[in-house]
Amino acid sequence: MIRILIADDHAIVRAGLKQFIADQTDMEVAGEAATGSQCIELVRNGEFDVVLLDISMPDKNGIDTLKTLRQIRPGLPVLMLSGYAEDQYAINLLRAGAAGYLGKEAASTQLVGAIRTVVHGRKFVSPALAQILAAGVAGNGDKPLHGELSQREFQIFCKIAAGAAVSRIADELHLSVKTVSTYRTRVLEKMGMKSNADLTYYAIKNGLID
């Protein structure tokens, strides 16, 4: 059972998230927090598999709360929730240690998928955020990522870098194994790399995965 902590200062938002989660047989809301301080206290004293954390909190904002959670429970994935657009703000949060960034207007299916993704140790990158990253917002390493990868190529790059097998990526994206393998070859060629290990090193260096 995936134990989830919801941290949001709006009771209506928490209720909506709880409803989405209640429909999943493998998930449960194990705690709720209305402030950043409450969230930190619950994580210190409880057992959770993932935290859904709002960026705008009344006492301790989401970014500061995220940093504290990373210090006390480094392995606990934190999925940031926000009403703001997925822009450089989202990139900075990923680099600060967030496991993913999701707009509050996202469909319930995307939320559930994001939770399962981060619980399995991978970063959640929405299609909108992947497009921003592929356009060059995230590239700051030795080799250029920006502008060279298409949205799909970047999406597959993130999954490979996080250790996902080609067959699993094919299942998740509803593509054939051959198609994913072709994308992998293109990504390696465009980035001037030779192996999956090179992709992983680049992703870690640029804060895209832990």
- Classify residue 79 by its DSSP letter: E
Q: Which CATH number fits domain 2-124: 3.40.50.1360, 3.90.1150.10, 3.40.50.2300, 3.40.250.10?
A: 3.40.50.2300
* b/e 81-116 (16+ beta carbons within 10 angstroms → b): bbeeebeeebbebbeebbbbbbbbeeeeeebbbbbb
CA dihedral (210, 45, 80, 166) positive or negative: positive
pTM: 0.66
Locate the domains of the chain by residue range. 2-124, 129-205
Tens place of pLDDT per residue across the chain (210 aa): 999 999 998 898 899 889 889 889 999 999 999 999 999 999 999 999 999 999 888 888 778 899 899 999 999 999 998 876 655 567 778 777 888 888 777 667 788 888 998 898 888 877 666 666 655 534 444 444 444 677 788 778 888 887 888 998 999 888 999 999 999 998 888 877 888 888 887 777 666 665
HSE, side-chain direction, 13 A CA sphere, residue 143: 16
CA dihedral (68, 71, 101, 9) positive or negative: negative
Residue pair 9/53 in contact (Cβ under 8 Å)? The answer is: no
CATH for the stretch 129-205: 1.10.10.10
The yes-or-no answer to whether 2-124 and 129-205 have a common fold is: no
